[in-house]
A and B are shown apart, each in its own frame.
Chain A
Amino acid sequence: MDRVPILKISDILLVSIQGDLDDHAVLTLQEDLADRVVATGALGVIIDITAVEIVDSFVGRMLSTIAGMARMLDAETIVVGMRPAVAITLVELGLSLGGLRTALDLEKGIALLSRPGPEPAVTDDMSPVGQ
């Protein structure tokens, strides 16, 4: 099985899973991503599963593990493009994937990552006067 390519775009690592990965390829991707997060100091990981037809407990666990691992390395993970049928099936399978951030598509995923962190609560003089 070929390795899943990992692209780096500024501070983001982008993985687009194509086709049906066997379990070995899934674990390889998990390890490759951990290595790349450390090597690049990436701040975000986006995993695009638009082309993925099923997410079973093995793939689901890989997604959670990557997110947990990336968080410890100070990177945020967003899973984008989950098909509705996959989401419905995951719920029935019993996999909540709690703690995993998702976005509908790549563009929204990138927007989530580039959103600045929480602002200080105090407003300053430059703020527009809101209602």
Chain B
Amino acid sequence: MSQPPRVVAPAEELTIASNDEVVIVRQKVRATAIELGFSLVDQTKVVTAASELARNTLVHAGGGHARIEVLDNGHRRGLRLTFADNGPGIPDLQLALTDGWSSGGGLGLGLSGSRRLVDEFELDSEPGRGTVVTVTKWTR
């Protein structure tokens, strides 16, 4: 039976303030996914989701942070990624999560697409306060 997930490794905190740092987020997420024994397809999915969300933090909020945590629910291990910023926030979450909707310039698949690539997806945002996106992918 699964227990409430607990964090089993010290969290890694990364700054997202430049394109280079988006690349670093991708690389650290991949390294952790490999350590956890994710399949190649699951590694690719979670790194792709991380890339989309890190880019959103940079492009839509002018920068922020990523946190990488390893979870254990007594049954499986998980990779939890949190992207947090103090940017403008998202006025309409439903709209932002619609496939193909972008407030400008993008393909509008970052939020909706990364939601499909992970097991758990949480979007917390308030205009003026910022945005926190938390995603988790579990080993199989």
Residues of A in contact with B (beta carbons under 8 Å apart) = 1, 20-24, 53-58, 60-61, 83-86, 88-89, 92-95
Contacts and interface: CB of A to CB of B under 8 A. Distances in A.
Contacts of B35: none
Interface stretch (B44-52, B62-70, B73-81, B125-133): B44-52
Given A23-B55, A56-B52, A92 B45 contact: yes
B140 to A, nearest CB: 14
B97 to A, nearest CB: 12
A89 to B, nearest CB: 5
Contacts, number: 71
B-side interface mostly: helix
Given A24-B19, A89-B117, 14 more contacts: A1-B20, A20-B26, A21-B23, A57-B113, A85-B44, A86-B44, A89-B44, A92-B45, A92-B113, A92-B117, A93-B109, A93-B113, A95-B107, A95-B113
Nearest to A22: B19
A-side interface mostly: helix
B5 interface: no
Contacts of B45: 88-89, 92
A101 B11 CA distance: 42
B48 to A, nearest CB: 5
Nearest to A23: B19
Interface of B: 19-20, 22-23, 26-27, 30, 40-41, 43-45, 47-48, 51-52, 55, 99-100, 106-107, 109-110, 112-114, 116-117
Residue of B30, B112, B113, B114 with most chain A CB atoms under a 10 A cut-off: B113
B20 A22 contact: yes
Contacts of B110: 57
B31 to A, nearest CB: 12
A93 B116 CA distance: 7
5 contacts: A23-B55, A53-B30, A56-B51, A85-B41, A89-B48
Contacts of A86: 44
Contacts of B113: 57, 92-95
Contacts of B47: 53-54
A81 to B, nearest CB: 15
A125 to B, nearest CB: 52
B30 A94 contact: no
A92 B42 CA distance: 12
Given A23-B55, A53-B30, A94-B113, A88 B107 contact: no
